[in-house]
Amino acid sequence: MLTILTLAPIQKIKYNQWLKQGLFGCVGGLGLYLITILYAQQQMGLALLFLVVFSGGLYVFISQRAYSLRYAFPAVAGITCFIIFPLLYTVGISLTNYSGNNLLTLDKVQDYFIQQRYIDESQRYSFKVFKQGSQLQIALTDLFSQQQWLSNNIELDGQPKTVSIHTAQSLPAQSSLAIKDIIKLKKSLKQLTLELPNGALLSMTGLRQFAASKSLYQLAENDLLINNQTGEQLSPNWHTGFYENNQGEAYPPGFTVSIGLDNYTSVLFDDSVREPFIQIFVWTFVFSLLSVLFTFIVGLFLASLLQWDQVKGKGFYRVMLILPYAVPAFISILVFKGLFNQNAGEINLILFQLLGIKLDWFTSPFLAKSMILLVNTWLGYPYMMLLCMGLLQSIPKDLYEASAMDGAGPLDNLFKITLPMIIKPLTPLLIACFAFNFNNFVLISLLTNGGPDIIGATTPAGTTDLLVSYTYRIAFQDSGQNFGLAAAIATLIFLLVGALALAKLKLSKLEG
């Protein structure tokens, strides 16, 4: 069978070779195109990423020596592009003031200023429009000298275009368009630029007049911008990322500049940022720790019950107990959000009928935190139960028999046999679980979205926010869009998660 497979017709191999080389050519060309464009747009990070990925890919797939790498390359490239690169890029952003106010590069901001135009009121012309079939003719009259100009027949298609006009002794004999027809044409007329014989450019500034429009700014040396109308000079402020006039007033839009470690210092030393940060940091730790603890206790308890030979119907219990794990989290979290709703939720309804109380689950910080822990225990215990069931099976049964002979109770068994036996293989898994809950964005985002808010914080911060949901909100929600600050906090979390990952790797190595 195998020998047949290897004896492929020679013709086919040749054809394959051509196909292969064509493919490499295409991929290389595409890569080069992307890299050049990104480089031209000053997206150095991205250009470098594509350079590494494309050249690495071509080398691996062309060189015979790198044959073994061919199998691993696509996966490694995927991880590089979508995990490692975003990580490094985030660290890079954390050193800048990239935000909703400082979104553009310096070039784009300068382009924006240069494209601004102002109307030179000293050169105003009234205009008339004459219609012949679908074609139009535009006539201008200088308000002071009564000199007249006329354009050739033109077609309006709504696209910007420049039309030159020439001196005319008399206007066409027919009557010009009434003002209501001009209103209808206003949009297309606004797109027109008329060019006088002396080269001045005019655009429509009112329903009856065209006027000369000029660039408001021109670029001078050292990135200075000079206002053509007032002569004012705008200079770039390299620290705030805005153009400023002499009085220090900022002119938006701002551009992105590197601000060194400012984002980190504001997290650590600026009170209005630091206090919510520390509060959220502590809660994140408490939340992850308690989540691991609760899910582990419930999971271990259920696993020991299900391990017990005397209990029948294990299959049924197992499926029922695994259900919270099987229902997609984004659905069950939203279900809890509805059930816990303060006015319309079923849980408050039951509490009211039984005890006559209604709890404010979403506005009291303590109750909101309790609710989150409750829901997270519901969501998380099945995983722990499955892990513990696997680990409990590896404990020799005769240990328990011996302890029963000695008259030990269930608690003695738990603390003297079960826990010491499973704690070692379990530790790295508990660390992973801790890290997962530390970054449990979906739970917070869907259940409380961080609320109730921390009072007096300048950033969007809530009492139930975890560090991840906090960074997400700084970056993507509310008004701020402060990507730089969000990236700085994300970098701090990276360091923590990295330490956890290393600890986990060390511990699982000791065990294996």
Partner 1 sequence: MAIVQAKSTKYRVWLSHIGLCGFVALIIFPLLMVVSISFRTGNFSTGDLFPSQFTLEHWSLALGIPFSHADGSITQPPFPVLTWLWNSIKVAAISAGLILLLSTTAAYAFARLRFKGKGFLLKSMLIFQMFPPVLSLVAIYALFDQIGQHVSWLGINTHGALITASLGGLALHIWTIKGYFESIDASLEEAAIVDGASTWQAFRYILLPLSVPILVVVFILAFITSITEYPMASVLLLDVEQLTLAVGAQQYLYEQNYLWGDFAAAAVLSGLPITLVFLYCQRWLVSGLTAGGVKG
**218 or 363: CB nearest partner 1:** 363
C-alpha 62/C-alpha 17 separation (Å) is 11
Q: Are strands 161-167 and 192-195 parallel, antiparallel or unpaired?
A: parallel
C-alpha 251/C-alpha 138 separation (Å) is 38
Of residues 242, 287, 217, the one with CA closest to residue 443 = 287
**CB-side neighbour CA atoms (13 Å) of 137:** 18
Binding mask 7-46 for partner 1 (x = CB under 8 A): --------------------------xx--xx--x-x--x
Which helix H or strand E contains 244, and what residues bound it?
strand 242-244
Report if residue 421 touches partner 1, rule: CB under 8 A.
no
One of 331, 419, 423, 510 touching partner 1 (CB under 8 A): 331
C-alpha 36/C-alpha 42 separation (Å) is 10
Tokens of 111: 């382009």
One of 257, 303, 429, 488 touching partner 1 (CB under 8 A): 429
- Taking the complex as a whole, the smallest distance from the CB of residue 33 to partner 1 amounts, in Å, to 8
One of 107, 207, 498, 510 touching partner 1 (CB under 8 A): 498
Under rule CB under 8 A, how many of the chain's residues touch partner 1? 107
CA-to-CA separations, 435 to 78, 304, 415, 463, 488, in angstroms, rounded: 23, 26, 26, 20, 19
**79 or 286: CB nearest partner 1:** 79
**210 or 336: CB nearest partner 1:** 336
Residues 265, 267, 272, CA angle at the centre, nearest 5°? 115
What residues numbered 356-395 form the site for partner 1, per CB under 8 A? 378, 383, 386-387, 390
Report if residue 341 touches partner 1, rule: CB under 8 A.
yes
What residues numbered 168-197 form the site for partner 1, per CB under 8 A? none
Residues in the chain: 512
Tokens of 146: 């009564």
- Taking the complex as a whole, the smallest distance from the CB of residue 434 to partner 1 amounts, in Å, to 11
One of 89, 251, 264, 285 touching partner 1 (CB under 8 A): 89
Residues 450, 453, 457, CA angle at the centre, nearest 5°? 115
SS (H, E, C) 333-378: HHHHHHHCCCCCCHHHHHHHHHHCCCCCCCCCHHHHHHHHHHHHHH
One of 90, 137, 151, 227 touching partner 1 (CB under 8 A): 90
- Taking the complex as a whole, the smallest distance from the CB of residue 290 to partner 1 amounts, in Å, to 19
Q: Across 179-227, where does the E strand assignment appear? A: 192-195, 201-204, 209-215, 217-219, 225-227
Binding mask 44-83 for partner 1 (x = CB under 8 A): --x-------------------xxxxxxx-xxx-xx-xxx
468: left (phi over 0), alpha (psi -120 to 50) or beta: alpha
Report if residue 502 touches partner 1, rule: CB under 8 A.
yes
What residues numbered 468-487 form the site for partner 1, per CB under 8 A? 468, 471-472, 475-476, 483, 486-487
Report if residue 5 touches partner 1, rule: CB under 8 A.
yes
**271 or 401: CB nearest partner 1:** 401
Report if residue 86 touches partner 1, rule: CB under 8 A.
yes
C-alpha 387/C-alpha 164 separation (Å) is 80
What residues numbered 195-224 form the site for partner 1, per CB under 8 A? none
**182 or 351: CB nearest partner 1:** 351
One of 177, 185, 351, 432 touching partner 1 (CB under 8 A): 432
Binding mask 437-466 for partner 1 (x = CB under 8 A): --x-xx--xx--------------------
What residues numbered 279-308 form the site for partner 1, per CB under 8 A? 302, 305, 308
